[in-house]
Amino acid sequence: MAIQDIYPTALRLLGRPVLVVGGGPVAERRAKGLLDAGAKVTVVAPIATETLQGFDASGLLSWEAREYRTSDLDGVWFVQTATGTSAVDTQVAADAEAQRIWCVNASDHEASAAWTPAVAVVDDVKIAINAGGDPRRAMALRNAVATALETGDLPLRRHRKPGAGGSVALVGGGPGDSGLITVRGRRLLGQADVVVADRLGPRELLKELAPDVRVIEVGKTPGHHPVPQLEINRILVDEALKGNRVVRLKGGDPYVLGRGGEEAEFCRQNGVEVEVVSGVTSAISVPAAAGIPVTHRGLAKGFSVVTGHEELSEVPARPDHTVVLLMGVAQLRDSAAALAGSGLPLDTPVGIVENGYLPDQRVTIGTLGSIADQAEAVGVANPAVIVIGDVVRVSPFAPQHFKTADYSTITPNRPRVRSN
């Protein structure tokens, strides 16, 4: 195995004088990084970029508009050369070596006493990568590692808890497929000490948690709420006050019929920091899994999302206004009757999508007049999303006769003729 004579470390340069020799774009990048580390930066170069000149004018660093001198190294802790002229960089590096000052030689990485890694910061983690003196390779690796940290593919969770109190994140996990959680939600889940989980949502991700992450199950089914909402609220606050990072992992979106607003309000009332991470709501995404748009040019300009037949009297009873029913399987027959009683034609298309995006997804399509009997015949069960309206005609699962001669997605503004 080849041995590389590199000893990885990190320099703490806060308040320490450093020297940058050169005034071009590379020198500018290095000076910015050194300023971010809190160093007292001096730039020596006859010509400097506008940015470096601006830093000098604002007092962030000192620019000496002249050629390099050996005396510039006096009292310096660290040197970066970036003149673009090999002879000058070599001279600076030799002078630094003579005075035992660490120096990065931008002109010759093999002769350089130190290498500058590719750096990224994610949360409070700083990663630095060297790649055998190949900066582009190092940058590619840095970007890959940073992305993995951002998305939760690498563990970003703290093991030493900070002194301050914990926090709560209400994370919308989407309709169930683990690939449909947001990047922010996945990252917070990877940092969690405690996960308060619903029955729906990306359950597969729970298997990826570290063994010491506690999962508290609070899932509900229609008509059966083993953990009341007030108890869920209390769990979130109690765990956060113990200093834990708590993720409330919910299906869909926490603010779409998910009682996330109540949980956030309770946390704030009890002095707990709370973050809301929107998710892909099942009201829109699950119909899309069956090729059903909730709006479609020429078919529907708006839609309503409801959870029971009681609200249906306030919904426009027109095939060109899509109605999305959540948690509506048990009351499907009553809901269909309510819409028909409000004037919605019995031949209005209806689609039911069970287990959207999951391997056992099933789509049942009928009409307002037939769908209740069809659902009972095939044993439709929750979780399911019911879509009512002409948009169901667009689904590739719709029977051919739904796509009538006057129906077109290519010329959708053509008048449609309905039979009475």
pLDDT tens for each residue of 227-236: 899 999 999 9
Lookup: tokens for 19? 């020297």
The whole-number average pLDDT for the span 376-403 is: 91
Do residue 252 and residue 361 come from a single domain? no
Predicted pLDDT of residue 417? 47
The whole-number average pLDDT for the span 289-315 is: 86
Entry field: residues in the chain: 420
CA angle 20, 21, 23 (to 5 degrees): 95
Tell me whether residue 417 is in a domain: no
Catalytic residue among 32, 40, 153, 220: 220
The whole-number average pLDDT for the span 165-176 is: 91
Tell me whether residue 418 is in a domain: no
Tell me whether residue 251 is in a domain: yes
Q: Does residue 106 carry a pLDDT above 90?
A: no
Does the predicted TM-score (pTM) go above 0.75?
no
Max avg pLDDT among 7-11, 87-91, 126-130, 224-228: 87-91
Do residue 290 and residue 392 come from a single domain? yes
Do residue 301 and residue 393 come from a single domain? yes
- The verdict on whether omega for the bond into residue 293 sits within 30 degrees of 0, i.e. cis, is no
Q: Does residue 28 carry a pLDDT above 80?
A: yes
Rounded to whole angstroms, the Cα distance separating 18 from 292 reads: 62
Predicted pLDDT of residue 402? 82
Whether 198 sits among the annotated catalytic residues: the reply is yes
**238 confidence band (pLDDT: 50, 70, 90):** very high
Q: Please, are residues 41 and 34 in contact by the beta-carbon 8 Å criterion?
A: yes
pLDDT tens figures, 48-88:
999 999 999 999 999 999 999 999 999 999 999 999 899 99
Using CA atoms, how far residue 168 sits from 217, 247, 320, in Å, is 16, 6, 41
Do residue 273 and residue 255 come from a single domain? yes
- CATH number at 203 reads 3.40.1010.10
Q: Helix 229-241 and helix 260-269: axis angle, to 10°?
A: 40
- CATH number at 396 reads 3.30.950.10
φ and ψ of 18, to 5 deg: -130, 160
- What is the span of the domain harbouring residue 128? 118-151
Max avg pLDDT among 216-220, 311-315, 342-346: 342-346
Largest Cα separation within the chain, whole Å, is: 97
Predicted pLDDT of residue 415? 42
Catalytic residue among 56, 72, 89, 198: 198
- CATH number at 105 reads 3.40.50.720
Rounded to whole angstroms, the Cα distance separating 197 from 357 reads: 19
Lookup: tokens for 380? 């439709």
Alpha helices, H only, 313-411: 332-341, 371-378
Give which of 234, 231, 248, 270 is closest to 193, Cα–Cα: 248
- Cα atoms found within 13 Å of the Cα of residue 374, Cβ hemisphere only: 15
Domain end, chosen from 247, 280, 313, is at 280
Please name the residue that has the structure tokens 């007049």. Answer: 369
Tell me whether residue 42 is in a domain: yes
Predicted pLDDT of residue 8? 78
**152 confidence band (pLDDT: 50, 70, 90):** confident
Do residue 34 and residue 95 come from a single domain? yes
Max avg pLDDT among 140-154, 201-215, 218-232: 201-215
Rounded to whole angstroms, the Cα distance separating 78 from 39 reads: 10
Q: Does residue 385 carry a pLDDT above 60?
A: yes
**1 confidence band (pLDDT: 50, 70, 90):** very low
Do residue 107 and residue 132 come from a single domain? no
Do residue 377 and residue 335 come from a single domain? yes
- Looking at the structure of the chain, the number of domains it has is 4
First-to-last C-alpha distance (Å) of the chain: 82
